[in-house]
């Protein structure tokens, strides 16, 4: 216990950084301010708040760097370190020509995550588990507050249109697309963490909350997950699979009938509204292919904003940078998979949550700019760097709390009550 307490004190910068990234955007909903031009009902974020997260993060980077260097700069995976520094430095050089804040987001937060991860001692699995417990409670509470205020007072969240069904709930981030990634993190963790009725209720709440984000990328990814699990289940239980196939015609009839009922109202309005934004997520490959000599090696020197991150990264940074970034993300996912396969049973929930979150981060970026959405980018790189560097370890004085605990008891343990 004394050892863990000392480690917790030595890792205070890491936890401060994680708290900063988790909580900073919480000002959006109560103050009704958001990124410039993204909300019809909110004001644009003042420059002081835009710069505030960087100002708070700089001292944490400095302290972490000094601490790491004072420990003889011990580290493993030097190829990851050098690759990350290259990606960050190249993005920083782009600012000198492009003067676009998106270059700062790419450069700063990946370096922030790297230095914080390098400076910490081992983080126990139970500490990460407690963090997930707190985030789960905060995510549910903030979503319920938004729903209540909308239903009772008509208070609209950021991405909402007055007088329509297009009301998207983004929890404490007030960002539906980014918050969907948080839900996948909590979904994978909760599935392994809880059992019985507790697990059913929590997962049901997460799925409903995910649907309320009205993020088609997230919903599509969720359907893919269901399909994969259905295929796996079919191989394990062939008789149940045959019964399910036999029931498909009845389900199809029910679905067609349900759509015909809803298409005059809620569903039709959402489909029409979403159809207008689909074009924004389609990357213009033909246009950029025709002028490939302008960007293929070092990328365009003027930032081109697209919803598809992978396409935008290719033309904004060039093939070399793009290949390095892709290799880094794939490598981090592989390290996580390897660590998950070797993890003890009580550690599985944490790794399951991170793995599902990582998959969504990689595949969701085909349609969303997740690597420049704060704090999703920080959470991905910070936790995945920790795993790659072997900084998440088994507990020395016990294990993660029993997966059969009710949520209230698990939360009480997480907050130390």
pLDDT, position 266: 53
**Strand, coil or helix: 160:** strand
Please, which pLDDT band fits residue 147 given cuts at 50, 70 and 90?
A: very high
Structure tokens at 281: 């997520």
* Distance from C-alpha of 189 to C-alpha of 361, rounded to nearest angstrom: 16
* Distance from C-alpha of 306 to C-alpha of 299, rounded to nearest angstrom: 14
Q: Residue-wise over 214-239: b if at least 16 C-beta within 10 A, else e?
A: bbbbbeebbeebeeeeeeeeeeeeee
Tell me the whole-structure pTM to 2 decimals: 0.86
Proportion of the chain above pLDDT 70, given as a percent: 76
Indicate whether 176 pLDDT > 50: yes
Range in 78-82, 175-179, 280-284 the model is least confident about: 280-284
* Distance from C-alpha of 254 to C-alpha of 242, rounded to nearest angstrom: 19
Please, which pLDDT band fits residue 291 given cuts at 50, 70 and 90?
A: confident
Higher pLDDT: 182 or 272? It is 182
Please, which pLDDT band fits residue 2 given cuts at 50, 70 and 90?
A: very low
Average pLDDT of span 35-60:
85
pLDDT, position 95: 80
* Distance from C-alpha of 177 to C-alpha of 173, rounded to nearest angstrom: 10
Q: For the segment 383-414, what is each residue's pLDDT rounded down to a tens digit?
A: 999 999 999 976 644 445 444 455 555 555 55
Higher pLDDT: 260 or 371? It is 371
Higher pLDDT: 103 or 26? It is 26
pLDDT, position 243: 54
pLDDT, position 34: 82
Measured N-to-C along each axis, helices 12-23 and 101-119 cross at an angle, to the nearest 10 degrees, of 150
pLDDT, position 145: 96
Please, which pLDDT band fits residue 65 given cuts at 50, 70 and 90?
A: very high
Average pLDDT of span 12-22:
95
Q: For the segment 223-280, what is each residue's pLDDT rounded down to a tens digit?
A: 888 888 777 776 666 655 555 555 556 555 655 555 554 455 555 555 555 555 555 5
Average pLDDT of span 333-351:
94
* Range with the largest mean pLDDT of 37-51, 64-78, 80-94: 80-94
Give the β-pairing of 392-393 and 123-124: parallel
**Strand, coil or helix: 163:** coil
In angstroms, how far is the first alpha carbon of the chain from the final one? 17
Please, which pLDDT band fits residue 129 given cuts at 50, 70 and 90?
A: very high
Please, which pLDDT band fits residue 165 given cuts at 50, 70 and 90?
A: low
Average pLDDT of span 29-51:
82
Indicate whether 170 pLDDT > 80: yes
Higher pLDDT: 52 or 400? It is 52
Q: Which residues contact 17 (CB under 8 A, 6 or more apart)?
A: 57, 60, 64, 112, 116, 382
Q: Which residues contact 166 (CB under 8 A, 6 or more apart)?
A: 160, 214, 269, 270, 273
**Strand, coil or helix: 44:** strand
- Judged on CB neighbours under 10 Å (0-12, 13-18, 19+), 197 is exposed
Indicate whether 190 pLDDT > 50: yes
Instruction: List beta partners, residue 44.
Output: 34
* Distance from C-alpha of 129 to C-alpha of 144, rounded to nearest angstrom: 23
């Amino acid at each position: 216990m004394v050892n863990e307490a000392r480690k917790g004190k030595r890792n205070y910068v890491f936890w401060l950084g994680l708290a900063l990234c988790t909580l900073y955007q919480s000002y959006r909903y109560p103050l009704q301010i958001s990124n410039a031009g993204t909300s019809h009902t909110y004001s644009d974020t003042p420059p002081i708040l835009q710069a505030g997260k960087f100002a708070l993060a700089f001292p944490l980077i400095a302290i972490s760097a000094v601490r790491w260097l004072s420990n003889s700069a011990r580290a493993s995976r030097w190829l990851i370190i050098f690759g990350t520094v290259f990606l960050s430095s190249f993005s920083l050089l782009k600012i000198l020509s492009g003067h676009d804040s998106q270059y700062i987001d790419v450069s700063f937060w990946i370096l922030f995550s790297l230095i914080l991860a390098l400076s910490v001692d081992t983080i126990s699995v139970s500490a990460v588990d407690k963090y997930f417990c707190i985030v789960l409670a905060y995510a549910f509470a903030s979503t319920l507050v938004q729903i209540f205020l909308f239903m009772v007072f008509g208070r609209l969240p950021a991405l909402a249109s007055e007088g329509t069904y297009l009301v998207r709930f983004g929890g404490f981030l007030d960002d539906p697309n980014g918050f969907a990634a948080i839900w996948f993190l909590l979904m994978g963790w909760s599935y392994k963490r809880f059992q019985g009725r507790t697990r059913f209720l929590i997962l049901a709440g997460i799925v409903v909350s995910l649907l309320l984000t009205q993020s088609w990328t997230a919903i599509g990814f969720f359907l893919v997950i269901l399909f994969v699990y259905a295929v796996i289940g079919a191989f394990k239980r062939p008789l149940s699979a045959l019964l399910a196939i036999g029931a498909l015609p009845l389900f199809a009839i029910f679905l067609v009938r349900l759509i015909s009922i809803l298409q005059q109202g809620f569903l039709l309005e959402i489909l029409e509204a979403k159809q207008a934004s689909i074009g924004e997520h389609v990357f213009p490959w033909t246009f950029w292919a025709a002028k490939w000599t302008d960007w293929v090696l070092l990328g365009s020197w003027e930032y081109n904003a697209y919803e598809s991150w992978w396409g935008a990264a290719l033309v904004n940074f060039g093939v070399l940078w793009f290949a390095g970034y892709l290799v880094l993300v794939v490598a981090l996912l592989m390290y996580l998979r390897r660590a998950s396969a070797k993890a003890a049973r009580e550690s599985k929930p944490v790794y399951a949550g991170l793995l599902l979150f990582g998959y969504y981060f990689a595949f969701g970026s085909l349609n969303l700019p997740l690597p420049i959405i704060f704090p999703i980018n920080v959470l991905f790189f910070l936790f995945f760097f920790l795993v790659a560097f072997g900084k998440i370890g088994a507990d020395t004085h016990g294990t993660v709390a029993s997966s059969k605990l009710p949520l209230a008891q698990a939360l009480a343990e997480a907050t130390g009550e």
